[in-house]
A and B are shown apart, each in its own frame.
Chain A
Amino acid sequence: MRARIPWWRHRRVLPWLIQAAAALLVLLVISALISNLVVNLSAAGLLLSWRWLGTPAGFDLGETLLPYGAGDPYWLALLSGLLNSLRVIAAALVGATALGTAVGLASFSRNALLRSLARVYVEVIRNCPLLMQLLFWYFVVFLGLPDGASALHLPGVVLAKSGLHLGPAALVDGVWRAPIRLSLEFTALLWALVVYSGAFIAEVVRGGVQAVPPGQWEAARSLGLRPRDSLARIVLPQALRVIVPGLNNQYIALAKNSSLAVAVGYGDLYSVAETTLNQTGRAIEVVLIVLGSYLLIDLAISALMNGLNRLVQLHER
């Protein structure tokens, strides 16, 4: 009886057949692509190899954390690029979180002016492409900064056309000298990322606070807590349950957006990779390295945020 059911009507057989067909199709496409790849690559004399990583790169990077010069090999250039990426990502994460939280909370302020300013900031930033904002900040604002004596200086911070100087700075022969100098490209990229991601994080924070039932505010108020205490002790801890997963998405987006550094000439991973490809023609290897690195960065951020998420969720029980 059971054997006589044709396969296209059999409840247990049909799903497996569909899956097998789909898997076969995908495998066929992938193997066709790979065989094309092998044929085309060997025709171009570019079969997969990693030996070129050890040859001298021959190009310089504006700023690096590691000691790196034009005579050093490609792998060191790519590693320096990765570290540059990580540096700007880490700094931007901190800045954007601070800005986003402040703006997100400002949208609940009693002050109508503050509320509407927060709204205007979010709407202006979210509806403009990041790349254009970055170019605007770099070419219009940062390259338009004064230098020398007329630079913007506060105690410990000097922002000039020559870069951002941190620590006790002194003007020597019209040039600022300070313990830490961050290049203008880094500063512009960092600023653009902070301002852009800050708007999205503000929305995440606002959504999280809004997701807390109004009854919680009322309960806090009826216990006699001041509005600031109700927010900090009652509402925010609950809002975090909604905020943290949203932040995870925004942090990953920020990490990916940092690859726009190439537009202002900051030597991040992608821009080093692009130069490397142009010089070596090693498209496959370079793309694999770049995609793999970003995957690792994403995974690291997700792991961190998942840990945080567990902490926040446990809080409730």
Chain B
Amino acid sequence: MTQALAADVVMLEARGVNTWYPNGHHALRNVDLTVHQGEVVVIMGPSGSGKSTFLRTFNGLEDFQTGSIIIDGINIGDDLRQRDAIRREVGMVFQQFNLFPHLTVLDNLTLAPVLVRGRAKTQVERQALELLERVGIHEQAHKYPGQLSGGQQQRVAIARSLCMEPRLMLFDEPTSALDPEMVQEVLQVMQELAAGGMTMVVVTHEVRFARQVADRVVLMADGEVLEIAAPEQFFSNPQHPRSQQFLSQIN
């Protein structure tokens, strides 16, 4: 009952988005996507298919020329204040972690809530320590990022985004830069996050994660969305020929 209600709230709506790079390359061609609250959407596709570009338009890191993107009721337009508002509500996790190396783990988490939300430092610190405990690294709170392993750094990065209490989380290939033995600890954290009801858009090559966690899988190629399907259908019976080709390549 509650799930059905939540599913009706649209968190992200992209309509007819077109992006040209400054060099003229048509990176996104008329892409549409709707994400409901509490949903986990996994975007897959060969490299260069525009999936990262698409994800990065959702918080204004990448520009788009035509079309519209509405996130949590806020339109991404030319208004700088609305962009800032969207970035406050949307968390992002990068392939390269992008932790701030000159700050301790704890300061990485507290920087934005204190600066952007104007919250009291002691209160944010308490919340940050709880989050670090949730991702399993609260003993490292006073170390610098350079002293942590890749998997630990990525979990800190997730906690850093969560500390802003986002309504939507974006993951841009969060496990691609990790050594194989560290992939699972990060996916574990993401899975728990999804189970907690977080709305997530994930660009990844991890098929097992997509099968187990995703509500829907999106296949992109050459800047276009070719197929959107539930994971069981997508992986067992893909409709589009490019989906079949892609799946045969990664298996």
A contact residues vs B (CB 8 Å cutoff)? 1-2, 5, 9-14
Docked Cα-Cα span, A11 to B83, in Å, equals 9
Q: Which of B77, B79, B81 has the most CB of A within 10 A?
A: B79
User: Which chain B residues in 52-108 approach chain A with CB under 8 Å?
Assistant: 77-81, 83
Q: Which residue of A lies closest to B75 (CB)?
A: A1
Residues of B within 8 A of A12 (CB): 78
Residues of A within 8 A of B81 (CB): 9
Docked Cα-Cα span, A11 to B64, in Å, equals 13
Overall SS of chain A's interface? mixed
Q: Are B77 and A14 in contact (CB under 8 A)?
A: no
Docked Cα-Cα span, A13 to B79, in Å, equals 10
Which 8 pairs across A and B sit closest by C-beta, in order of nearness?
Answer: A11-B78, A5-B79, A9-B80, A9-B81, A9-B79, A10-B78, A11-B80, A12-B78
Residues of B within 8 A of A2 (CB): 77-78
Residues of A within 8 A of B77 (CB): 1-2, 5, 11
Can you offer 15 A-B residue contacts whose CB atoms are under 8 A? A1-B77, A2-B77, A2-B78, A5-B77, A5-B78, A5-B79, A9-B79, A9-B80, A9-B81, A10-B78, A10-B80, A11-B77, A11-B78, A11-B79, A11-B80
Min CB–CB distance B65 → chain A (angstroms): 12
Docked Cα-Cα span, A273 to B83, in Å, equals 57
Docked Cα-Cα span, A1 to B75, in Å, equals 11
Q: A11-B80, A11-B83, A14-B80 are in contact. List 17 more A-B contacts (CB 8 A).
A: A1-B77, A2-B77, A2-B78, A5-B77, A5-B78, A5-B79, A9-B79, A9-B80, A9-B81, A10-B78, A10-B79, A10-B80, A11-B77, A11-B78, A11-B79, A12-B78, A13-B78
Q: Which residue of A lies closest to B79 (CB)?
A: A5
Docked Cα-Cα span, A9 to B81, in Å, equals 6
Min CB–CB distance A12 → chain B (angstroms): 6
Residues of A within 8 A of B79 (CB): 5, 9-11
Docked Cα-Cα span, A13 to B77, in Å, equals 13
Docked Cα-Cα span, A10 to B77, in Å, equals 9
Q: Which residue of A lies closest to B84 (CB)?
A: A9
Q: Which residue of A lies closest to B83 (CB)?
A: A11
Docked Cα-Cα span, A43 to B169, in Å, equals 70
Docked Cα-Cα span, A14 to B83, in Å, equals 14
Min CB–CB distance B236 → chain A (angstroms): 44
